[in-house]
Amino acid sequence: MTAVASIRIMVVDDHPVVREGFATMIGSEPDMSLVAEARNGEEAQRLFRQHLPDVTLMDLRMPGLNGVDTIRAIRREFPQSRFIVLTTYDGDEDTYRALEAGAKAYRVKDMLCDEILAAIRAVHAGQRRIPAAVGTRLAERMSGLELSGREQQVLELVAKGRSNKEIAGALEITEATVKGHLTNILGKLGVTDRTQAVIAALRRGLVHL
């Protein structure tokens, strides 16, 4: 009987319980092996060089070097490396950045184990796995819904509870200009007021509190 080739996997997550969960899941699969666990982006780079995993499960949000920047750093050194981004946040902006950085799949952590295992096998085989809903939001983002740099700054200050006058002072622009940016932001997010804008921006990963 021919032995099944093992998919060598590294897990990168700052939560020990999450790493243990993935270790247990991977350890139960005859065609997979966990070769490294990293707690942050810096450690992930070091362990990647040491173990050269076939597939890396990468947490998107970690203290220090985040998942997106870690993927970019590793892929600069190892262009053929393959990543699956795992996150508790289903935000299209974060998704876009991760896929742009080179991730081959995107999975939310509370998905069924079978879905994550299937994604690992697919990515190892050279395929991409992007949920339909995420793909739809990515298409929207790439078709003109992207905020300008100034709109992004205004939105972040709105999310911090700043008034139009305070935003104008912080960015050294007029209140009328702030109102103009807000009108554009509301239109792009498909909402009617600043509270809805903040909620939509948090959900999409455009701002983080």
pLDDT tens, position by position, 116-128: 899 999 999 998 8
DSSP state of 180: H
The answer, yes or no, to whether residue 92 has pLDDT greater than 90, is no
The answer, yes or no, to whether residue 54 has pLDDT greater than 70, is yes
* Residue 111 DSSP SS3: coil
* Residue 32 DSSP SS3: strand
> What is the pLDDT at residue 139?
66
The more confident residue out of 204 and 143 is: 204
Domains, the chain, ordered by start = 7-141 (3.40.50.2300), 147-204 (1.10.10.10)
* Residue 99 DSSP SS3: helix
Around Cβ 86, how many Cβ atoms within 10 Å? 24
Q: Tell me how far apart the alpha carbons of residues 120 and 9 are, in angstroms, rounded to a whole number.
A: 9
CA 197 to chain centre: 21
Name the residue with tokens 């897990």.
11
Instruction: Name the range with the highest mean pLDDT among 65-74, 94-103, 200-209.
Output: 65-74
The answer, yes or no, to whether residue 199 has pLDDT greater than 60, is yes
Which strand ranges, in their side-by-side order, compose the sheet holding 7-12?
A: 32-38, 7-12, 55-59, 83-87, 105-108
pLDDT digits (tens, 9 = 90+) for 149-195: 899 999 999 999 999 999 999 999 999 999 999 999 988 887 889 99
Average pLDDT over residues 122-144: 74
The chain-wide mean pLDDT, for the chain, equals: 86
* CA nearest neighbour of 119 among 13, 29, 24, 184: 29
Average pLDDT over residues 69-78: 93
The more confident residue out of 208 and 84 is: 84
The more confident residue out of 67 and 166 is: 166
* CA nearest neighbour of 71 among 84, 90, 53, 52: 84
Paired tokens of 118: 């299937």
pTM for this one?
0.66
Q: Who contacts 24 (Cβ-Cβ below 8 Å, separation ≥6)?
A: none
The more confident residue out of 98 and 161 is: 161
pLDDT digits (tens, 9 = 90+) for 3-37: 456 899 999 999 999 899 999 999 999 999 999 99
Share of the chain residues as helix, strand and coil, in percent rounded to the nearest 5: 55, 15, 30
The more confident residue out of 51 and 190 is: 51
